[in-house]
Structure 1
Amino acid sequence: MNELLTENEVVEIMMSYLNSQGYTIERYATTTQTGIDIEAFKNGNKICIEAKGATSSMKDSARYGKPFNDNQVKNHIGKAVVAALKVLNQECKDTISAIALPNNATHKKQINEIQTPLKQLGIKVFLVSKDNVLDYF
């Protein structure tokens, strides 16, 4: 899985996946907008997803088309976890808080290192590739 998805591509793929699972997209944000990246509903239940990409989504960036390094991935996952924690703090108790990440070795390694506390907190993780979304935990 060497594809380098941008954050916007992760958001688009996740929205298609959620639609296929019966969710209605209420709101979404691109990298130029603020707030949680995806808010969707199914049977009155809400899911809020913070997404991260594997490369820059800015074509004029020096990082565009190049994979983020380990430190950048750690930083991005840290920011995603904070966003997911804010959802848990601000939303009603039935809201699902989730993170969507590229399905690659670097992101999996970092997320596996914090898997137990994320599960304990009830934060879901989706791993995204061009052709598939894996409900990781």
Structure 2
Amino acid sequence: MTHTGPSPFLYEDDVVRAVIEYLAADGWTIDSFALSHQHGDDIVASRGAQHLIIEAKGDGSSKSNSARFGKPFTRNQVKTHVSVAVVRAMQVASTGLAFAAVALPASEFHRLEVERIAPALRSIGIWVFWVSPAHLVEVQRDHQRRPS
């Protein structure tokens, strides 16, 4: 079972929903999405001939059977989750078929981890969607990079 009530931080599903809303308002069609209890790419979107695949992570476990349920992730857990998200984005970018992105809470630990690798993300062309506690979305991307 996953958490569905209010939280002091963003769960993965909160991040996914906020980015979906942002993308739809920006003219993207949401082709598919997966919430935390589902398998598959977290968000797949298209706009004309452009395709975008996003790997999302939250700031805490929404699974009620988890030892960390209802608690924010530690710095080391955030580092691991950011690493997993970036590797998935690199896999997408390597295909050359879609823009690749990660979507993360705009928390201190997430920002610190991404800041350390931001130049590499830009050089690869990986976008970062930051989601605030108010579910507002900010996007960092290199507009010059295009999939093949």
Question: Does TM, scored on the shorter chain, surpass 0.5?
Answer: yes
Q: Secondary structure at the match of 2:27?
A: coil
1:56 counterpart (58, 61, 64): 61
Pairwise mapping of residues 1-137 of structure 1 onto structure 2 (< 5 A)?
3-92=8-97, 95-129=98-132, 130-137=134-141
Deviation for aligned residue 1:33 = 2.2
Any conservation in 1 of the 2:15–2:135 contact (CA below 8 Å)?
Answer: no
Amino acid aligned to 1:132? L
- Asked which structure has the greater RCO (Cα within 8 Å, sep 6+), the reply is 1
Unmatched runs of 5 consecutive residues or more in structure 2: 1-6, 142-148
Could you say what the CA RMSD is over the residues aligned between the two structures, in angstroms?
A: 1.5
Deviation for aligned residue 1:34 = 2.3
Unmatched runs of 5 consecutive residues or more in structure 1: none
TM-score by length of 2: 0.85
Deviation digits for residues 54-90 of structure 1 (CA, Å, limit 9, x no counterpart): 0002123221221101110010001001100111123
| Alpha-carbon distance between aligned partners in 2 of 1:82 and 1:39, rounded to the nearest angstrom | 17
Q: Secondary structure at the match of 1:27?
A: strand
Any conservation in 2 of the 1:36–1:83 contact (CA below 8 Å)?
Answer: no
Identity within the alignment, % = 40
TM-score by length of 1: 0.91
| Alpha-carbon distance between aligned partners in 1 of 2:72 and 2:94, rounded to the nearest angstrom | 32
Q: Post-superposition, which runs of at least 4 consecutive aligned residues in structure 1 deviate over 3 A?
A: none
